[in-house]
Amino acid sequence: MRVKVILNPWSDRGRAAKLQDQIPLWARQVGGELSLVCTERPGHAKQLAREASVAGYDVVAAAGGDGTVHEVVNGLVQGGRAAAALGVIPIGSGNDFAFSQGIPTEPQQAVHRLFDGQRRAVDLARIEDEHGRFALFDNNLGIGFDAIVVIQTEAITRVHGFLMYFLAVLRTIALYYQTPHLKLDFDGERVAQKVLFLAMGLGPRGGGGFFLTPDARHDDDHIDSCTVNPINRLTMLAMLAKAIKGTHVTSPHVTMRKNRRIVVQANQPLPIHIDGEVFAYPRDNVRQITVTSLPQALQVIG
């Protein structure tokens, strides 16, 4: 079995670079061999994953955070399916995709799992905007408040992990309050309303510890969504504690759905993130997106 590891040395605020020499040694502990390459710039992991797939590697592993996994997935999947299986060595801030797949958080164990783990087919989803830009996501998508939180994390440098996302949420509550009017089509169910945010999930967790779509599964050919009505800041703070536990789903301010295709049209430019990476800043003037489920598009070693 040929295994390629794509390591993002900047993951987890640069701590991932220290594992460059350790990862091949951990593979040999279980009789495995792998080839390791480091990314050099944003977007490089996508290119490296595509090259590894073309070269015939059986497994291509993302060593980094959710952003690295996101890039590798977009490099592996061509024409709706991936030839190589995805492995994950979670050494990022959130590691939400790895959590959903039951992949060990300890890097050494995750490397061993590349060679003795089980393969499972997982769903992905595709987003396309009105400008023709598109991408795949493997875990979650956020529009509005949720995306502003991701943008806020770009300015937080002193902490990492769940605390970074938690501080970004508090900043967003204090500084951001927009409620765009959305026209939504959920598999033919049409809704028009103002929203604080719209979150979508293939997996249950985002932001390192927020269960916005707690019932989401990677193998049901559905995209779970969480639509939150405009609420005041005090209610946001109360909802924050519930979102950490996933109990917000019973709130009268929240509507949960499961769908295969979702179309969003807005009366103003939308901030959008996918897998914790910014897909659109407000300045990009994205006002319409279509999100489509891609069932069993990828094999994951878990």
Kindly list the domain boundaries of the chain, sorted by start residue. Answer: 3-117, 126-296
pLDDT given for residue 84 in this prediction: 96
Positions of the chain with pLDDT under 70: none
DSSP string, 203-218: SS-BTTTB-SSTT--T
Question: Do 280 and 137 contact (CB within 8 A), yes or no?
Answer: no
Give the architecture (CATH level 2) of 126-296. Sandwich (2.60)
The rounded distance, in Å, linking the Cα atoms of 257 and 139 is 16
Collapsed DSSP state (helix, strand, coil) of residue 6: strand
In the chain, at which residue ranges do the beta strands (DSSP E only) sit? 3-7, 35-38, 59-64, 77-78, 81-82, 85-90, 119-129, 134-137, 140-144, 181-186, 189-194, 197-201, 223-228, 254-259, 261-266, 272-274, 277-280, 288-301
The rounded distance, in Å, linking the Cα atoms of 71 and 52 is 13
The rounded distance, in Å, linking the Cα atoms of 206 and 86 is 20
pTM given for the model:
0.94
pLDDT given for residue 154 in this prediction: 82
DSSP state of 67: H
Give the architecture (CATH level 2) of 3-117. 3-Layer(aba) Sandwich (3.40)
DSSP state of 86: E
The rounded distance, in Å, linking the Cα atoms of 65 and 97 is 9
- Which structure tokens are listed for 159? 């902490």
Name the one residue in this structure whose structure tokens are 């996994």.
69
